[in-house]
Structure 1
Amino acid sequence: MTAPSQPASLDLSRFQPKALLRRLESPVAPYYLLLGATGMLLLFGLVMVLSASSVTSYQASGSSYTVFKNQAMYAVIGVIAAGAATRVSVRWWRLLALPAYAGAVLLQMAVFSPIGRTVQGNRNWIGLGGFTVQPSEAGKIAIILVGAMILTRKRKVLGEWRHVLIPFVFPLAIVLLGLVLLGHDLGTTMVLAAIAGAILFVAGVRLRVFAFFGALTAAVALAFVATNSNRSGRLDAWLGTCINAQSDGCYQKVHGLYAMADGGWWGVGLGASREKWSWLPEAHNDFIFAIIGEELGLPGTLAVIALYVALGYACYRLIVTSKDFFVRIATAGVMAWILVQAMINVGSVTGLLPIIGVPLPLVSSGGSALVTTLFALGMVISFARNEPACKAALAARPSAVKRTLAVLPLGRR
């Protein structure tokens, strides 16, 4: 009679800080971090959209699942688009840059045609049958690709300011930003400006160029705030000088903070939000982070922030390790897009920034934003997977099917 086999001891050395750091520095780390963080944010976003929209969706359509079904449909489209993007080579991304920019400009110009739609004061949508599309989301991808393509070609002369400005800044970036700004969408314009700035920074442009354009951007933003009562009201709400707490900017800010405070440390429980009962405007969109804080408390909000940090770290690793200048610049553009937009959204909800009105990437409700963000991340995943060290490491690993077959007894194969 043989003695029973002892259970294998758990190898705790894999969880030591040094071992974890080595794993994060692995050539496959950016690839897996991008896949994991993107998938988790997408699934988490679907759950929170269902929770945050259930009440208002029922009031509007008689079903608590209408908004969720639309978001799930766009999530499927976005995953398919991301999967297709992972199969595109760097060479084709360069070739697609100018056609993508031309298409984005034409779509943005269509906003001012009869098919254009105005939503909450912003004319930044076009209606196609029963669907609405936000062309400025495609503009984010276009400005990343065209910027990476032009600056890669001009890499040796980027020390001269005229090569920096022409033609990327003037006229390409200015035309696209100007069209979005004409539609009164200041939030998206700020994100586009941040993308352009990140692209120029990673390309090695001198800091005095940033000082000039930073001052210019701030002046334009202040001018638009001063000439619009809605935006000036949001600024008053941020400064705490609201005359009427029931005004749009103050009302939304107050109820967003009520939601965060109501959640406390541990939250009231998934689906148990009180503010989503028609109190907090845009609970499933721009202010979904407030519902996360109310229902899931501090752990829920920190988990979301940690996933964005993971995405940012993966992009950073790709930027510093890749030898392809185009890949570094394009990755920096996508990184700035997601992180800056997330910071603006979280800052708006928590009161650290004025309410600007941009969605939380991959989490907030919105079809155009979700599909384009997934497509852009699919592009970065393709960059990470095709890095020589990562490609070699992945090729050396057997597939999951082969590993499974290798451990099965012969009779079960």
Structure 2
Amino acid sequence: MTTASPDDLTTRRPAVLGWYRSAREALDRPLTAYYLLLGASALLLTIGLIMVLSASSVYSYQHNDGNSYAVVTRQLIWVAIGIPCAWVASRLPLGAVRRFAWPALLVSIVLLALVRVPGLGVEVNGNKNWLGLGPFLIQPAEIAKLAIVLWAAHIYARKEKRLDSLHELIFPVVLGIGVVIVLVMLGKDLGTALVLFAILLAMLWVVGAPARLFTISILVTGVIALYLATTSQHRLDRLTTFTDPFKDFHHTGWQPAHGLYALASGGWFGEGIGASREKWGTLPEAHTDFIFAVLGEELGLVGTLLVIGLFLVIAFAAVRVASQATEPFVRYVSFGIVVWLLGQMIINVGMVLALLPVIGIPLPLVSYGGSALVPSLVALGLLIGFARREPEAARALAQRKKARSAGLSAGRASH
């Protein structure tokens, strides 16, 4: 066994410091957050489309008259809708975004209420949280996630100088989001209700709510969640067997157990795109809630770490935007979106790894589903717009545009 000599360590230290300084300089550039958000979002969306194509191919073939591309085609339609919406969101001035806050909340509440109307609400996997609109099925709770972030941020930004009062913190934000959560819970969608509750806690935390409010909220919510879990035998079985899915392998443990099989067979670098065996009918929801398992099987540990890393890049860039923002609304929206997307990623990965119960939470930007994809893209569009409007970033973009125009003018003059 050889050890590094003092001379080797002396030589390496300046090189390491040089790499560190270069990384810090790159991260401190005005447009870093903008490019990180744009690049990480585009990569996640691309990986998602590839994985939806692969994970859904067998399911599509079986349920769409031999058409293996039916599901991914629908996902591409949602992408074609979502990207222009995200572009518009990135270009909207803050005043226009804030004007959407109340209408967005009201539309979400109306859509969630319509789910309770017989003939309109559609039950999927035991949860009645889908709304049938002609040939489309939408999940209003996914739209509500973006709506409550915008609405709560708008209300708290208006109350910026009065947030030292507990009354101002609670009314009307806690009540408004509480109505949304109750409507979601009426559809028996406990997982989405918990995500909405996490967003509420995040908004309260970022505006400086006292610790006792969090303690009371978490205790009350924990008791309610446990009670609701006991009202459904299937949900209770999932809660009691998630730590050892093989204990009830042929029933509630089937999905998480096969998710673990998929991840285990992927190894370091995976079996290759399209080579998953679990997607051939043994893994339920392979292209939706458990797409991370297929990703791990086909792209291995490297692929799963890449996806998790991209979410962390988005979180880093968004927190940077929030920390540098002078406008309270930007700060609150950015933080709310981070908790929403990063929280869903953590819950989804935890489900697949059997660290959390299976509660039907999709992986943002990666799982199939337009109801989740479009609001997520709009949220990322807002973050990208916030990053572009940072004072230093705006100046850098203006200078770059001016230099490009000058270069084009010089090129035309030379001809």
TM-score, length of structure 2 as denominator length: 0.92
Residue of 203, 228, 237 corresponding to 2:207: 203
Residue of 122, 127, 136 corresponding to 1:131: 136
2:108–2:141 CA contact under 8 A, matched in 1: yes
**1:295-320, Cα deviation, whole Å (9 max, x unpaired):** 11111001001100100001110111
Aligned to 2:249: 245
Counterparts of residues 325-344 of structure 1 (less than 5 Å): 325-344=328-347
Aligned to 2:263: 260
Which secondary structure state, in structure 1, belongs to the residue aligned with residue 137 of structure 2?
Answer: strand
Which secondary structure state, in structure 2, belongs to the residue aligned with residue 49 of structure 1?
Answer: helix
What's the offset of the Cα at 1:406? 8.3
Which secondary structure state, in structure 1, belongs to the residue aligned with residue 201 of structure 2?
Answer: helix
Aligned to 2:186: 182
Letter in 2 for 1:87: R
Aligned to 1:233: 237
Aligned to 2:115: 111
RMSD between superposed Cα atoms in Å: 2.1
1:301 and 1:243, CA in 2 relative to 1: closer, same or farther beyond 3 A?
closer
What's the offset of the Cα at 1:402? 5.0
User: What is the alpha-carbon distance in structure 2 between the residues aligned to residue 376 and residue 69 of structure 1?
Assistant: 23
Mean CA deviation greater in 150-159 or 14-23: 14-23
1:275 and 1:159, CA in 2 relative to 1: closer, same or farther beyond 3 A?
same
Identity of aligned residues (%): 45
Aligned to 1:65: 69
Aligned length: 399
Aligned to 2:326: 323
What's the offset of the Cα at 1:157? 2.0
2:120–2:131 CA contact under 8 A, matched in 1: yes
Aligned to 2:389: 386
User: What is the alpha-carbon distance in structure 2 between the residues aligned to residue 225 and residue 369 of structure 1?
Assistant: 24
Residue of 117, 140, 146 corresponding to 2:145: 140
1:257–1:350 CA contact under 8 A, matched in 2: yes
Counterparts of residues 87-106 of structure 1 (less than 5 Å): 87-106=91-110
What's the offset of the Cα at 1:239? 3.0
1:149 aligns with 2:154: yes
What's the offset of the Cα at 1:93? 1.6
1:48–1:284 CA contact under 8 A, matched in 2: yes
Point out where structure 2 has 5 or more consecutive residues left out of the alignment. 1-14
1:153 and 1:297, CA in 2 relative to 1: closer, same or farther beyond 3 A?
same
Mean CA deviation greater in 93-102 or 393-402: 393-402
User: What is the alpha-carbon distance in structure 2 between the residues aligned to residue 14 and residue 54 of structure 1?
Assistant: 48
Which secondary structure state, in structure 2, belongs to the residue aligned with residue 239 of structure 1?
Answer: coil
1:213 aligns with 2:217: yes
1:294 aligns with 2:297: yes
What's the offset of the Cα at 1:15? 8.1
What's the offset of the Cα at 1:17? 2.0
What's the offset of the Cα at 1:146? 1.1
User: What is the alpha-carbon distance in structure 1 between the residues aligned to residue 26 and residue 204 of structure 2?
Assistant: 30
What's the offset of the Cα at 1:206? 1.5
1:193 aligns with 2:197: yes
1:236–1:242 CA contact under 8 A, matched in 2: no
Letter in 2 for 1:159: D
User: What is the alpha-carbon distance in structure 2 between the residues aligned to residue 399 and residue 64 of structure 1?
Assistant: 48
What's the offset of the Cα at 1:26? 2.2
**1:69-119, Cα deviation, whole Å (9 max, x unpaired):** 000110111001101111111111222111111111001101011211111
User: What is the alpha-carbon distance in structure 1 between the residues aligned to residue 111 and residue 290 of structure 2?
Assistant: 27
Letter in 2 for 1:211: T
**1:126-148, Cα deviation, whole Å (9 max, x unpaired):** 11111111111111111111101
Which secondary structure state, in structure 2, belongs to the residue aligned with residue 174 of structure 1?
Answer: helix
